[in-house]
Every structure is written in structure tokens, then in C-alpha cells.
Amino acid sequence: MASLQHSQAIKGAKVLMVGAGGIGCELLKTLALSGFQDIHIIDMDTIEVSNLNRQFLFRQSHVGQSKAKVARDAVLRFRPHISITPYHANAKDSNFNVDFFKQFNVVLNGLDNLDARRHVNRLCLAAEVPLVESGTTGFLGQVTVQVKGKTECYECQPKPAPKTYPVCTITSTPSKFVHCIVWAKELLFAKLFGDKNQVNDLNVRSNDAFSSSENTNDVFEWRDDEDFEHYGRRIYDHVFGYNIELALSDEETWKKRNKPRPIYVRDVLPDQMTQQNGNVDITDDLSSASAMASLGLKNPQDIWCLMENTRVFLEALKLFFTNRKKEIGNLSFDKDDQLAVEFVTAAANIRAASFNIPSHSLFEAKGIAGNIVHAVATTNAIVAGLIVIEAIKVLKKDNDCYRMTYCLEHPSKKMLLMPVEPFEPNKSCFVCSSQTPLSLEINTHRSKLRDFVEKIVKAKLGMNSPLIMCGSALLYEVGDDLEEDMIANYTANLEKVLSELPSPVIGGKMLTVEDLQQEFTCNIYIKHREEFDEEKEPDGMVLSGWTQALPEKKDDKTSIGNGASTSKSLPTEPMDAQKDIEVKEISDGTASPGKKRKLPEFSEGCTLDQSNEADETRNDKKIQKLDDDDDDDDLVMLDHWGKDTSKKQRLQ
């Protein structure tokens, strides 16, 4: 009888998968082989060569095609009688609204980013459809069940903010290789090849008035009568030589720091070698797209010496200006752009040499710059199986058997799969629980409505199509059906300071913010505040009452490699040079034996800390939840496992 109910629950279910990548391929295969008959898939991505080592439904001939559509075709070849409906689209598109989600019995996530997970979470809550959330990174993985009113939603616990460094650290006093990567990627690459109108200050901060000289203003401009060798040497000497000498003129800065050394081309390459650099036929496709190929460098895992880094830097610069000149002015760093990765690697290594920081290989530098964590196909397969197990429990309404399951790299209590009972909803969660107003401290006479929309409504509250009201006055709205005069009115409002809006927003006022697609609403109480600490409060506003990020732990060690772990990873974004720069902090993935092991909630492509638990596995443990890392739910092992596994207490 139980088997019959099991079979009927599966065959009669209508399932939505979001994501057809590493987890998604395994999940679709497992769903089909488990007897599911009606499966829908949403994925906006196309297949890349780098996917083929683990996304087994795809082949070389599929590169460039829709993941959702190719995955469907591949599975129908061995399960031709089931229905699979693919959507090559963004899950945040307006047609995937609450009504769309209501048609499904369960939603299964195989996503790789916070924003999309947050969006799907809210749609599932509004539609009252159970969600099975998942993620992997390396050998670690996690599956959780989220049912409205019964378990935590995705946003019940805080998601740490990106690691930030003051711009002066990046431009003046780097101490880690990641600082050099950010400098090369967000400042130098953007200055040379990106939007010329974007604010970008590559000058090391100094009390020397000479920092604003004409030399500084003109050095990055390539003159029509200038050959590439001279231009390359001029750029090199300015950023690695002149700027370092300028920094050294501020003696106060270096009283307690190791002084950097200026590096000039003449100190590294003889004139003859500079002229011969990359002396190959640039009509060759490979050599014209790669400085490494042009110079005969083959192994991306080699660590280049200073001379090799200098040659790659100059050659990459020349190739950009000779073969990709039309793109200059519109380029942004892309981890899949080989020439961009080579340039950033070489520039970061030269800067690292100047500041006595160990160099890294191109393979390692690409991992840091592109926020890459190398996936393991076996982990994806295990997690996909766990997703299906939880989905079947949901369909059978077997609420008491729901489990959050963690896939471990090393056994604990002789287990590699660690199940935990789900936690109840967080009563203070502003998304899934009874909502109390949020509180926003802001200078209402200085901050514009645009600042509020970008920094609070979109960045912190995760709304995509917001509607903002002050009392009965509509201040801002987004939608395809708006008339032109309304669009012009809302656009004009964006540029007004809050206190000068048609319905003034001042201290004591309440704003209502709503996302119609997510069917999500929250109220924000405004508190006027004059001044903010630029270092600690760079946004110039402070939101309270939401699940804020926990403080991150400091870790000065860095390591990246195949299967290496990383920590605190949120996407980096180019920042104005006057603001803090957001970067990912990279850890070496190890901890002393006495430390507690933490198991985060992972996403394929996200990063985490892995700890050595050699001592822990010899003791009885109890699992208890802790939230401390990148948009992840963590576990720590506590003593007395088995004495009372049904009682779990939140760590504050």
C-alpha cells in the first residue's frame, strides 16, 4: 500500500526545476529514472566548454545551445514517454510569477547565486508551494526543505555581506594577493580597456602634491604617433615604478610596514628583449588571442618569474590594442576571456613582487579573479539524489520525515551524509513571518530616491520590480505597462533627494515597498541622520530589523587550486574609486585540529571554509546550526551526540 501511494505521488506530480547546470543535469536524470512524468525546467544559460567535465547531458556539439533544451532532449532519448518542458529564460522574468508557480506540487532549486535563490524563495512562499533548496561546492553539499509556516525559508537567517577593503588598501598598502588581483582587475584593467568616463583613481594616495601632475593625467592615453612598445613601457613604468616611488614619499605610511620596491621595465627586460617581445605572426588565431601562446608559454599552472610576467603584461597590452581595438572603452573583465585573464594575472604578479607578496599561477589567479570553485560531479549526483528523496517526502506530505542533509568531505560519526531536522521559521524574518516595520537611518536631505532604490530596495531587500509608496502617494514603480508620462515622472523622482519628493520623505515617515512579481511587501520606518562613518557605513544609510550579515572572521592565508576551498565569496563588483572595494577573501581551507568543523549551505560555484576535523570524529557530537559564512547555513559539531538529537537550539 505504501509503495502504491509512493508511486502515485510521483506519477501525479508536476515538478519545477530551476537550474539545469551541474546539479540540474543530475537532478533531471534522477527524476526521470525515479518515475516522475511531468517536469518543467528553467535555465537562462547556454552550454560552455567548461561545463562538459561534469554536466554529463551535454556534449561538445552542444556548446552555445540552451542548457534547458539540450538537457530535455538528452533525457527523452532514454525516457521518451515522459513530459519535459524547457524554458530558456531567466527565472526572474515577469512571466514566471506567483500564478505560474502555483501550478506545481514542488519546486527544486539547483541555482548558483544568492539573488535568484532569494527570488524563487519568495515566489514559493507567495504561491505556498514547497521548495527543496540545494547546493554544492567541491566535496561538500547540502539539501534543505522549505515549507511555508513549517520550516525556515531561505532568508530566515543572515547572509554575510561581501568582504570589503578601503580603496586605500587596494591602491596603497596591499598585503594579500587578492588585493593585487582586485587592483589589476577593477582598477588597471578598467582604466585601460573599460569606460573612460568611469571614475578611476590609480594614483597611490600620498601627501605629495605631485600626485595630481599632468604626467598622471595623460599617461594612460595612447597617442596615434606612438608605437606599442613605447606605450606599454610607459604604462608599466607609471603604475609599477612612478606610483610606488610616489607612495614611498609618504614616510609615515611605511613606519610599521615593509616598504615596496619600484619596478621599471629597464630593470627587468633589456631593450632588445622588449623589442622582440611576442615576435610572432599575429595573424595566427591562437597567438592573436593569447599572450601566452604568442610567447610560447604553455602551462597555466606554472608560476611565472618577474621577467615572464613583464613580457606577458606587455604582450597582452599590445594584443588588445592591435587585435581588439574596437572593443576598448567597452570592455569589462570576464574570466572566460583568456587575454583578459593573462593581463590581470601578469599585472597582479608584478604588483605582488613590488610589495613582497608571493606570486600565483594563471590557474590560481583566474580562480581568485573569477570567483571559481572547482566542482565535483560525484557531489552533484549525491545531492541530486537527496533532492529527489526530500521531494518524494513532500509529495507524500510526510512532514515529520523532512531532513536537512549535509554531504561531508570527511566522515563524522562514521557518516558522510549528516541529516538534521529542519528548523522552525524565524519569527523575526521579514520575508516569511509576521512582518514588523524595518528601520532605515538615512540623511533625507542628501540621499536621493535612486540611492534608496539601488542600495536598499534592490541590494538588501532583493526586489526586482519595486513599487514605493509614502502614505497614499506613489513615488516609484517599475512595469512594462506604464505610460510614458508616468515613466518620465518616476525617472525624475529618482534624481530628487528624499525630502524634496512630491510627498516628502523625512524622519518619522513610513515607506511601503512592494514587489508585485514576488507578491512581497514590507514597511520601512525612516529615521533622519546627519552623518555616517565612511569606513563602517559606506552606503551612507543603515537598515535595521532585517536578517543582517554576521561579522566575518579574518584570515590572512590564501590558496586556490583544483578542489581547493575558499571563503566568504560573494561576487565582486566594480566600485567607485572613492568607495570601499568589494572582494572575495580566499582561505587555505584548513584549520587547527581543535577547531569546530563548519558545514555551510553551498552553491555550485560558491565558496566556503573547510576545516580539519581529525580530533572531532573521536568524540560524541551533536549537530547545531550556526550562520556565519557566505549566504550559507553552517553546522558545528557539539559534544553529546545522540543524547537528544530531537532538540536543537539556535546559536546566537
pLDDT tens for residues 465-507? 899 999 888 999 988 778 888 889 999 999 999 999 999 999 9
Q: How confident is the model at residue 39 (pLDDT cuts 50, 70, 90)?
A: very high
C-alpha cell at 328: 576598448
C-alpha cell at 56: 554529463
Q: Which amino acid is at 494?
A: L
pLDDT given at position 533: 83
Those residues with Cβ within 8 angstroms of residue 483's Cβ, 6 or more apart along the chain or in another chain? none
| Most confident option among 337-346, 479-488, 628-637 | 337-346
pLDDT given at position 163: 64
Q: How far is residue 109's CA from residue 308's CA, in Å, rounded to a whole number?
A: 44
**C-beta neighbour count of 17 within 10 angstroms:** 26
Q: How confident is the model at residue 5 (pLDDT cuts 50, 70, 90)?
A: low
Q: How far is residue 644's CA from residue 652's CA, in Å, rounded to a whole number?
A: 20
Residue 83 C-beta-side C-alpha neighbours within 13 Å: 10
Q: Comparing C-alpha atoms, which of 604, 644, 523 is closest to residue 27?
A: 604
pLDDT given at position 272: 56
Give the active site residue among 124, 168, 401, 522: 168
pLDDT given at position 315: 94
Question: How far, in Å, are 174, 371, 578, 580, 623 from residue 198 at the CA level?
Answer: 23, 24, 12, 16, 49
Specify the pTM.
Answer: 0.66
Active-site residue 168, yes or no? yes
pLDDT digits (tens, 9 = 90+) for 445-461: 999 999 999 999 988 88
Query: How long, in residues, is the chain?
Result: 652
> Is residue 193 a contact partner of residue 320, using CB atoms and an 8 Å limit?
yes
pLDDT given at position 153: 92
- Model confidence at 635: pLDDT above 60: no
User: What end-to-end distance do the CA atoms of the chain give, in Å?
Assistant: 45
pLDDT given at position 405: 94
> Is residue 484 a contact partner of residue 507, using CB atoms and an 8 Å limit?
no
- Model confidence at 612: pLDDT above 50: no
Known binding residues for Zn(2+): 153, 156, 429, 432
- Model confidence at 613: pLDDT above 60: no
**C-beta neighbour count of 212 within 10 angstroms:** 10
- Model confidence at 644: pLDDT above 60: no
Q: How far is residue 77's CA from residue 392's CA, in Å, rounded to a whole number?
A: 24
**C-beta neighbour count of 406 within 10 angstroms:** 26
Please, what is the Cα angle at 568 between 567 and 570, to 5 degrees? 125
Answer with the residue of higher pLDDT: 336 or 312. Answer: 312
pLDDT given at position 311: 95
> Is residue 316 a contact partner of residue 337, using CB atoms and an 8 Å limit?
no
Q: How far is residue 181's CA from residue 169's CA, in Å, rounded to a whole number?
A: 12
| Mean pLDDT value across residues 358-379 | 87
pLDDT digits (tens, 9 = 90+) for 266-299: 999 876 555 555 544 444 455 568 899 999 998 9
Whose cell is 533525457? That residue is 75
Least confident among 222-226, 325-329, 404-408, 436-440: 222-226
> Is residue 110 a contact partner of residue 605, using CB atoms and an 8 Å limit?
no
Helix 22-33 with 67-76: angle, nearest 10 deg:
30
Q: How confident is the model at residue 520 (pLDDT cuts 50, 70, 90)?
A: confident
Beta strand ranges found along 140-217 (DSSP E): 140-146, 163-165
Average pLDDT for the chain = 78
Known binding residues: 19-24, 43, 51-54, 67, 112-117, 153, 156, 429, 432
pLDDT digits (tens, 9 = 90+) for 558-584: 333 333 333 333 333 333 333 444 443
pLDDT over 70, % of the chain: 75
pLDDT given at position 603: 45
Q: How confident is the model at residue 162 (pLDDT cuts 50, 70, 90)?
A: low
For 508, the 3-state DSSP assignment is coil
pLDDT given at position 631: 35
Question: How far, in Å, are 6, 16, 91, 459 from residue 86 at the CA level?
Answer: 26, 10, 12, 29
Answer with the residue of higher pLDDT: 644 or 231. Answer: 231
Those residues with Cβ within 8 angstroms of residue 597's Cβ, 6 or more apart along the chain or in another chain? 412, 591, 611, 612, 613, 616, 635, 636, 637
